[in-house]
Structure 1
Amino acid sequence: MLLHSLHCLPELESLVMVQSAVGRGDIELEFLYARLPGRRNGRVRAVLDLVIPRSDSLLEVLANTHFQRAGLRVRRHVLIPGVGEVDFLIEDCLVVETDGSTHFEPKAVKRDQRRNNRSILGGYLVLRYYYADVVYSPDEMVAEVLAVLELRRQGKFFAI
């Protein structure tokens, strides 16, 4: 079924299916690569290249795909002292977190705000995106990331 979906479904839809199966341990990525040899499967193999073996969520996989496509230098699951592990560190200066519905619980909101504060105190900029942003408005999400990086490049963020 996964092989069929890779050939027939739009790229992101098949990516989500493969990521789910790999993440749950239902199938090995190498198994799929082995069944898709040659140049005629290049487009399909490119989808497999987007799978993140250790992903915390499908939002993370989709956001990573959009950031990579925008040509951004992306590091995933970066441990920042005093903050903990962040979903993305983009261009070594911008923390981007992708939050699902569990982040709406009051304790989680407070924890996330404290992590934002500690990130900023550590010299990082922070953006946070939710399901609707990543799934329905990825172009806007990427545009905001690019805009923040441009403002930083122009020196618009400064200490008082």
Structure 2
Amino acid sequence: MDAELALRQLGGVALNRQVQSRGVSESAIRAALRAGCIERVERGVLGLPGADPEFVAAVKARSLLTCASAAGRYGLWLLHQPTEPHYWQSNGRRATGCVSHRLPLSQPRREPFVALPDVLLHALLCLPALESLVMVESAFIRGDITLEYLRRHLVGNRGGRAREVLSKVDRGAGSLIETLARVLFRDVGIRTETQVWIDGVGTVDFLLEGFLIIEIDGLAFYLNPRQFKKDRRRDNEAIRQGLLVLRFFYDDVVHTPDAMLRHVREVLRRGRLV
């Protein structure tokens, strides 16, 4: 194997010894450096030209990306971008300006980020509850992880909060904001059903207390006139059947959840249509 191919397999940047472990000789590395196919990032670190800066920083720190910093690599929902990189580190060296994770890995290490189960385990033990919940739920809905696997690796008092987060994971959400809305409703004691089929209306995002439909509208709601008309007809049919309908948007759920809950509670107090 040549040095360039080995680096591509390692994510574009790696330690010299990792490249050699792929069967690349020192002389082959020197030849690739002279040809400009690869670069010496720093002593002991090799990279491809234009390698991902996040990967380069992680390898220079002798670390692997994990938790929120690896969420995008697996297509996980992420509520907030991390302000500092999250690294898994197995040695005594601590990189400054990062969040360091040292929980032993449950799966063989990958380069330059840890395996998906460990990304989720680290998130559950590190991030605020809602942020870790949306990451886990996005993987769970796709069938990429089981809750039993995560629970087995969350033992003892330290894992208590993480196990509580897992108890709130559900398959009913179709997006990050639906997960957030469901948790908000259930946490304040509102009886919440998800993805409910109603004859003549179709599947609705939420049915609260058996009579209040909640729909969470994304960007497509604004951009698709046909969908706009269809949704209005659905709302009309729901009201004709004696149900109530409220619609909310991303900003309502993420940025003003208290106002959203206040509106929901006001409608619930009034009761259903006769």
Provide the TM-score with structure 1 as the length reference. 0.89
Aligned to 1:100: 218
Q: Partners in 1 of 2:168 and 2:241 — Cα distance?
A: 30
After TM superposition, which residue ranges in structure 1, 4 or more long, deviate above 2 angstroms?
23-26, 37-40
Aligned length: 155
Q: Secondary structure at the match of 2:155?
A: coil
Shift of 1:8: 0.9
Q: What are the residue-to-residue correspondences of 1:1-160 with 2, within 5 Å?
A: 1-104=119-222, 105-152=224-271
Q: Is 2:201–2:234's contact at 8 Å kept on the other side of the alignment?
A: yes
What's the offset of the Cα at 1:32? Answer: 0.9
Return the structure number with greater relative CO, CA threshold 8 A, min gap 6: 1
> What is the CA–CA distance in structure 1 between the aligned matches of 2:235 and 2:156, rounded to whole Å?
45
Q: What SS does the corresponding residue of 1:46 show, helix, strand or coil?
A: helix
User: Which is worse superposed, 31-40 or 136-145?
Assistant: 31-40
The CA distance in 1 between the partners of 2:171 and 2:271, in whole Å, is 32
SS at match of 2:194: strand
State the alpha-carbon separation in 1 of the partners of residues 153 and 172 from structure 2.
22
Q: What amino acid maps onto 2:195 in structure 1?
A: H
Instruction: Answer yes or no: is the 8 Å Cα contact 1:50–1:61 preserved in 2.
Output: no
CA deviations 1:10-59 (Å, max 9, x no partner) are: 11111111112222222222211221134442211111122112421121
Q: Which has the higher helix share?
A: 1
Instruction: Classify the secondary structure of the residue corresponding to 1:98.
Output: strand
Q: Distance in 2 between matches of 1:54 and 1:76?
A: 6
Give structure 2 stretches of 5+ with no counterpart: 1-118
How far has the Cα of 1:152 moved from its partner?
2.4
Structure number with bigger Rg = 2
Percent identity between matched residues is 50
SS of the aligned residue for 2:195 comes to strand
Structure-2 separation of matches of 1:81 and 1:71: 27
**Do the aligned partners of 1:60 and 1:87 also contact (CA within 8 Å) in 2?**
yes
RMSD over aligned Cα, in angstroms? 1.6
Length-normalised TM-score, structure 2: 0.54
Per the TM alignment, residue 151 of structure 1 is displaced from its structure 2 partner at its CA by 2.2
SS in 2 for 1:128: strand
